[in-house]
Structure 1
Amino acid sequence: MEKMKRRKFLGISAAGVAAVAGSGVLMPAIANAANVAGWPAAAFDAKALDAAMKDSIDTTSVKVSPKVHLTAPTIAENGAAVPVTVDVDHPMTADDYIESVYLYVDHNPTPLASAFHFSANNGQAYFQARIKMAKTDMVRAVAKTNKGVLMASKPQEVKVTIGGCGG
């Protein structure tokens, strides 16, 4: 009886995994993201800011609130990775909490850049992310509470020297 060599074993294993994955039994989690409750799939596909806002928060008009703090650089050397921080000064109790925060870049090919979902258990609606920007543009954060109240940060212009969305 011949001992199986490592390369042969790896080859057989890779072929088996490929066959199972190709059959659809194994699907990456991202493939099912559109089926997750609350996932704004149409908003991520929208090509205009108004459509992205309507599909994600059901409105295109949101009052600016001093409770939503957006921090982004004045100048981003590379639009492929623009650092953004959002902090919402709002209670995070079982009765009243921030449910979602959306980041929009007004004239990106797809304006909805990110969506973050929270629960009262998070304790604070805060995150840091890197977003793509095609060119110099306005970035805005919109927070939605579990009661439906929407608050926005003051839109902030970020100057991009090298576009990250094919620009």
Structure 2
Amino acid sequence: MIGMFESSHISRRHLLQLAGTLTAAGALPLVTVRPAQATPAMLASAIRNLVGEANVTVGKVRLDIPPLVENGNTVPMTVSVDHPMTPNSYVKSIHVFNEKNPQPNVANFHLTASAGRAQVTTRIRLADTQKVVAIARLSDGSFWSASVDVIVTLAACTEEMP
């Protein structure tokens, strides 16, 4: 490195200007870049990737999530499906989607008849006020859904760096 300075004949003045510029750049506030938000079209596409051309019927699924959350970093959610869990008829999977997070597919849960009950509980992050959709796939190949509009007063993933 020293050889580079010797060969280019950087004066002390230029070196001090460079140091001042770097110091000033370090004093600039850090800007947090938010990831791109998903769109309703991306939500529809993610759901279509799951169900293909099958119809999704509203019903059987209950999505318990607060309609108003103060902090989107940890939002409690329970999805339950009103369907028997027998070897011949059961809920194969539960999928959760959202409208505005960077990735519209939030969670996937795979169940068997031995689960005894089609219910999952977890916490999710919500980047903003948006629609949350839960879809259940039954063993007969049908899809059932529920959705809730959630208002988020403090969005997740937006904290400023100190």
Q: Which runs of 5+ in 2 are unaligned?
A: 1-40
CA contact (8 A) 1:53 1:59 kept: no
> Larger RCO: Structure 1 or Structure 2 (Cα < 8 Å, ≥ 6 residues apart)?
2
Given candidates 42, 47, 51, the residue that maps to 2:45 is: 51
Q: Structure 1 unaligned runs (5+)? A: 1-46
Task: Decide which of 137, 143, 151 is 1:144's aligned counterpart.
Answer: 137
Which structure's residues are more often strand, by fraction?
2
Distance in structure 2 (CA, Å) of the matches to 1:59 and 1:162: 37
Residues 74, 159 of structure 1: 8 Å contact kept: yes
Please, what is the CA RMSD of the aligned residues?
1.8
**Which stretches of structure 1, 4 residues or longer, exceed 4 Å deviation after superposition?**
none
The answer for the alignment partner of 2:12 in structure 1 is: none
TM-score, scaled relative to structure 2: 0.68
TM-score (norm 1): 0.66
How far apart are the structure 1 equivalents of 2:148 and 2:104? 14
- Quick one: percent identity of the two aligned structures? 36
What CA deviation, in whole Å up to 9, does each residue of 1:92-117 have, x standing for no partner?
11111000001111222111111111
Give the count of matched residue pairs: 119
Based on CA coordinates, which of the two structures has the bigger radius of gyration? 2
Match of residue 102 from structure 1: 95
Matches for 1:1-167 after TM superposition, within 5 Å: 48-59=42-53, 61-65=55-59, 67-153=60-146, 155-166=147-158
Moved more, 117-126 or 75-84: 75-84
